[in-house]
Amino acid sequence: MISRAFLFGLNRTEVKGLDGFLDLLDRRRDVEGRKRGLITVSNHVSILDDPLIWGTLPLSYQWSPNDLRWSLGAHDILFKNNFGQTLPTRRLAYSPHGGPFQPTMVQTIRLLSEGPFFHTHHPPSTADRSLSSPDITDPFSSPHLTFSTDGVDTFPAPSAYRSRRHSWVHVFSEGKVHQSREKSIRYFKWGVARLILEAEPMPDIVPMWIEGTDQIMHESRQFPRFVPRPLKDVSVTFGEQVDTEKTFGDLRRQWKALRSKDENASAEGKELEVGILPDWLKYGKEAVELRKECTRRIREEVLKVRRQRGLPDEDPKAGLVETWRREGNAREGKMEDGTWVRDV
């Protein structure tokens, strides 16, 4: 409600493609009737992108927790206090527990899938029974309803609840706020590829494009830095729902073939649990190449929405990790190429 009031009351906000996206949300309102999860993916131009962009949704879509998006937020920034439907994500640059195979990614994959999932595989080493802790146990079935990002901390495991099955997850696949005059986007990280390849069944996907929120909270802003700047032009564009079978179907079939090799080779022939991978499916060449291609394709879907905004095609090299070494060695702030980055 606050985000909506700020967007439309104190700024000039344009929303494109909203009707089609609302139709999709309407079809998902019955939790028991959902057949698959939903991924929205966009560029990331401001620390206020989430939750600000969701102020574009009518108020009637902002009340039920089962209908709201889940997002991934930096563990050491957003989780000093509870931050709504946000999953605690470890950043590999700051924690050895980060990366695309951390426990939070298992939770995210399972949120998109047919749940509930009672065994998290990542419980804290010692249960915390204090009243402030979510470390609880169901007295009837005794499954663990929490997970840990590092073996010590404790968070509720949302995938353990049936009401969270086939959830909606939004991802900023650049992994950083990126502000540039050309409105370019960085390379995408592999986490989104895991969501697309491993969630069961394949989720629906809607790409998005955000403009103008960088002017509300630009990384070059001076005192008072914590105050959003109003009276800006903001645009949020919802792209068309991706034909997932046409775009990712071949990659999913290759992924399932890889998984079946491991299942057939195991002594018991047991099927791998959703989100749980052996090392060779994490780091093996075939698995890595599949994630690279999947990430390239989802980035292209976001670029299609960018083109709808009338922006010129980017340099084809912009999607490569190597290209962004031109930013220099700084992790955030003003880069050597003139862009501004915030590692959140």
pTM greater than 0.85: yes
- Half-sphere exposure of residue 12: CA atoms within 13 angstroms, side-chain side: 4
Q: pLDDT, tens digit, for every residue of 144-200?
A: 688 899 988 888 899 988 889 999 999 999 999 999 999 999 999 999 999 999 999
Q: pLDDT, tens digit, for every residue of 66-92?
A: 889 999 988 877 665 555 789 999 988
Tokens of 262: 């491991």
Spatial contact of 53 and 59, defined as CB atoms under 8 Å apart? no
Percent of the chain with pLDDT over 90: 65
* Residues sharing a CB contact under 8 Å with residue 154, sequence separation 6 or more, in sequence order: 124, 127, 128, 133, 134, 135, 146, 147, 148
- Write out the DSSP string of 191-211: HHHHHHHHSSSPPEEEEEEEE
CA gap 231, 221 in Å, rounded: 15
Tokens 């009338």 -> residue: 310
